[in-house]
Amino acid sequence: MSNDVLQAIADRRSIRAYTRAPVSEAQLDALLKAAMEAPSARNTQPWHITAVSDATLLSRVNEAYRKEFLAQCPPEARGHIEALGHSVFFHAPTVLFFSCPPISEMRYAQTDVGIAIQNVALAAHGLGLGSVILGQPRFAFQGEEADALRAALQFPAGYDFCLAIAVGHPACTKEAHPMGEGRVTIICEMNDVRGDLI
């Protein structure tokens, strides 16, 4: 069984190297539209998306991330993060930051953001772009620059960083990851359990 959507899911990769070519305005508009078309609990659309192609601002977020990550993590976990020039955004030309209210205020906000950001990842693939979904930038919003960065990225009041997705023209690709075994159970009828098919 095959169709365009299933093929896009199968072919899409997390890209960690990008060319210097910018994401066009038309491409960015298409990515944002794909995000906004995502379903959400009770159609609350709890996300706010800040699209950034300003290299100076991205560098500022990256440095805040590196500083806080290195402060929090033990030496054995630092690895390449300490390397000069390391970018949590992998030097992508454009990054979409998704902020949302805390779970205490909106229970499904983070789940809804996850759905919207997957829409962006698949849309990027469909446009010939690469992307990688990122959680690690959260460290930038835990340090001394957190409030200033929230302001610079124009997060709405009460919103905080949830996820980001770096987007650009891929400079590399990779093989598909192997699918884990024993992760699926299919129950057709009571007492009729199929084995793991994946």
Torsion, Cα 83 85 90 92, to 10 degrees, reads 180
Q: What's the pTM? A: 0.91
- Give the residue numbers spanning the domain of 125: 4-194
pLDDT digits (tens, 9 = 90+) for 98-148: 999 999 999 999 999 999 999 999 999 999 999 999 999 999 999 999 999
pLDDT digits (tens, 9 = 90+) for 43-68: 999 999 999 999 999 999 999 999 99
CATH number of residue 91's parent domain: 3.40.109.10
Distance, CA of 115 to CA of 41 (rounded, Å): 11
Distance, CA of 121 to CA of 146 (rounded, Å): 26
Helix ranges, 73-192 (H): 109-126, 146-152
For CA atoms 74, 79, 80, 83, the dihedral sign is: positive
The count of domains in the chain is 1
